[in-house]
């Protein structure tokens, strides 16, 4: 590091030679990776994916399907709705589900590792129930039963409708919370017991040791699994249309149906779904990339987990 004798260290960090070398090592999948460059690469990849996605959408949505459908009848214009609107709604729902699920999952996961019997029991019942039920059933029945409860309660229909639809989102949040609780618990338990022993030996109290020793390591260990769980909860939002949400899945269903019903254009429906697939892929890709970026930020030698 200090000696200027080797040729590599005479180059300045941002110089073109170094950047080229980094590109080469990246392409070769070499072990030498530059820290700063790695973080920016996520931004670059993510940005490229977003720009590419939007361009593709405009291209396909307006130029392709729109004109074709205009010739054959009406597709987007008939419903006056565009996949991008559904896409934005999906993102909005995801923005609710992920924080709620993460917070709740963290609490439940932690509760399952404490010494309090009641907390542990409740936690495992919660996790068992919400993990083994299919998300679509949770959404549908949460909404349906809420509707049943609200019947005759005198709430105005608009509020009732809003409440019912958001209960579906709550169901999804609980579903993902159960998964994240399990991930968090596994993370906490896989911190070696020697770590708490050492904390005990230093006279750190148990609660404090949890915050300063165990949880930081557990969080780091469970990040890859959390990334997978984030992307799978994003994918689960495509089921919200069973209770009437017009998110990306719902919009695609409507557009595909219209393309057949009114335009007699069967291929149009396929195009609509491919478009939806692309949009979902972009979102999940960005989510996993982001989590990987966070992993790099919190990288600690000796605490690596196998990338999944």
Residues contributing to the site for other proteins (CB under 8 A):
6, 8, 29-30, 32, 113-118, 120-122, 124-125, 128-129, 131-137, 140-141, 144-145, 147-149, 186, 188-193, 196-197, 206, 231, 235-236, 238-239, 249, 252-253, 256, 266-267, 269-270, 273-274, 276-277, 280-281, 284-285, 306, 308
Widest distance between CA atoms in the chain: 84
Q: CB 100 → other proteins: shortest distance, Å?
A: 20
Q: Which is nearer to other proteins, 197 or 297 (CB)?
A: 197
Q: Which is nearer to other proteins, 143 or 297 (CB)?
A: 143
Q: Which is nearer to other proteins, 212 or 297 (CB)?
A: 212
The dihedral built from the CA positions of residue 128, 129, 131 and 134, taken in this order, carries a sign that is: positive
SS3 assignment for 13-75: CCCHHHHHHHHHHHHHCCCCCCHHHHHHHHHHHHHHHHHHHHHHHHHHHHHHHHHHHHHHCCC
Q: CB 43 → other proteins: shortest distance, Å?
A: 19
Alpha-carbon distance of 180 to 178, in angstroms, equals 6
Q: CB 85 → other proteins: shortest distance, Å?
A: 17
Q: CB 269 → other proteins: shortest distance, Å?
A: 5
Q: How is residue 157 written in tokens?
A: 């229909």
Q: Which is nearer to other proteins, 1 or 117 (CB)?
A: 117
Q: Which is nearer to other proteins, 19 or 21 (CB)?
A: 21
Q: How is residue 242 written in tokens?
A: 């069973």
Distances (CA, A) of 183 to 114, 116, 147, 195: 15, 20, 33, 20
Q: CB 14 → other proteins: shortest distance, Å?
A: 20
The dihedral built from the CA positions of residue 215, 218, 220 and 223, taken in this order, carries a sign that is: negative
Contact 187, 110 (CB under 8 A): no
């Amino acid at each position: 590091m200090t000696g200027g004798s080797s040729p590599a260290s005479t180059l300045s960090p941002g110089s073109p030679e170094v950047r080229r070398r980094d590109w080469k090592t990246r392409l070769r999948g070499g072990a030498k990776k530059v820290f700063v460059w790695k973080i920016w690469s996520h931004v670059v990849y993510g940005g490229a994916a977003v720009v590419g996605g939007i361009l593709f959408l405009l291209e396909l949505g307006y130029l392709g399907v729109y004109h074709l459908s205009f010739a054959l009848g009406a597709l987007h214009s008939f419903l006056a709705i565009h996949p991008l609107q559904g896409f934005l709604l999906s993102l909005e729902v995801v923005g609710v589900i992920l924080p709620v699920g993460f917070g709740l999952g963290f609490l439940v996961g932690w509760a399952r590792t404490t010494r309090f019997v009641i907390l542990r029991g409740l936690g495992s019942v919660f996790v068992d129930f919400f993990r083994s039920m299919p998300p679509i059933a949770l959404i549908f029945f949460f909404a349906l039963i809420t509707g049943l409860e609200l019947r005759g309660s005198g709430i105005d229909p608009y509020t009732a409708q809003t409440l019912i639809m958001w209960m579906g989102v709550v169901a999804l949040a609980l579903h993902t919370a159960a998964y994240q609780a399990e991930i968090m618990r596994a993370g906490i338990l896989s911190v070696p017991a020697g770590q708490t022993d050492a904390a005990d030996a230093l006279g750190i109290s148990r609660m404090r040791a949890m915050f300063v020793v165990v949880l930081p390591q557990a969080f780091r260990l469970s990040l890859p699994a959390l990334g997978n769980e984030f992307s799978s909860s994003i994918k689960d939002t495509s089921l919200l249309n069973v209770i009437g949400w017009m998110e990306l899945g719902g919009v695609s269903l409507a557009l595909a149906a219209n393309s057949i019903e009114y335009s007699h254009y069967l291929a149009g429906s396929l195009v609509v779904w491919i478009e939806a697939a692309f949009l979902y892929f972009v979102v999940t890709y960005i989510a996993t990339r982001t989590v990987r970026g966070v992993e790099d930020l919190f990288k600690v030698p000796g605490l690596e987990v196998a990338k999944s």
